Amino acid sequence: MVRYISILLLYTAVISATVVIPISKTKFKIINSNQTKIVNLSNKEFIVVSLRERGADGRFYAVKDGAVWLSGAISSGAYRYKTPSGVFKVLRKKRYHMSHDYPSADGVNNMNYSIFFTHRGHALHEGSPEWMSHGCIHIDKADIIELFDFTKVDYTYIVVTQKSYMKYAREDLLMMREF
């Protein structure tokens, strides 16, 4: 009976997971257990986070006026702490922040430049792209400062996907000579 319940819970978690598929520079297909829809972010400011898991590229891409203007490495949630996929709006920002669930032992703020995008506390924040997180997205200090200044609460979108976005960003990155 316990095994059956565990399998059922695992199946439910897999079925209810949201999948985000980039289909152009500004359009994304959102698939979950209830529906499939297309989200068009043309004329919007947004950040695409392409997670390292399952063959994606482990990068963020900041898009304004239809062009990628900033990109850099990220790290995301470790195996037991998955980063959720989806299209979110920035809920709040906090310049200095200490995680409530995973506080730093030395008392130093460990989530500075936090850009929160879920009510469960997921955020883009300062952290090493080399270290996996508890579900947040770590971004190097120089990049997160620019993103923190770029984002606006209730205005900027955060798109989190486990698919690659590079084919849509490549031309802009080549123009910036970053890639």
Q: Which of 160, 80, 72 shows the shortest CA–CA distance to 116?
A: 160
> What's residue 6's pLDDT?
39
pLDDT digits (tens, 9 = 90+) for 37-67: 999 999 999 999 999 755 556 899 999 999 9
- Cβ atoms < 10 Å from Cβ of 42: 9
Angle, CA of 87, 88 and 89, to the nearest 5°: 140
Q: What is the mean pLDDT of residues 62-74?
A: 95
Sketch out the chain's domains with CATH numbers: 41-176 (2.40.440.10)
pLDDT tens digits, 110-135: 678 999 999 988 999 998 787 777 67
Task: Report CA torsion sign: 19, 136, 63, 39.
Answer: positive
DSSP state of 97: -
Query: Residue 63's beta-bridge partner residues?
Result: 46, 68
At residue 135, the pLDDT reads 76
Q: Is the pTM of this model over 0.95?
A: no
More confident residue, 78 or 51: 51
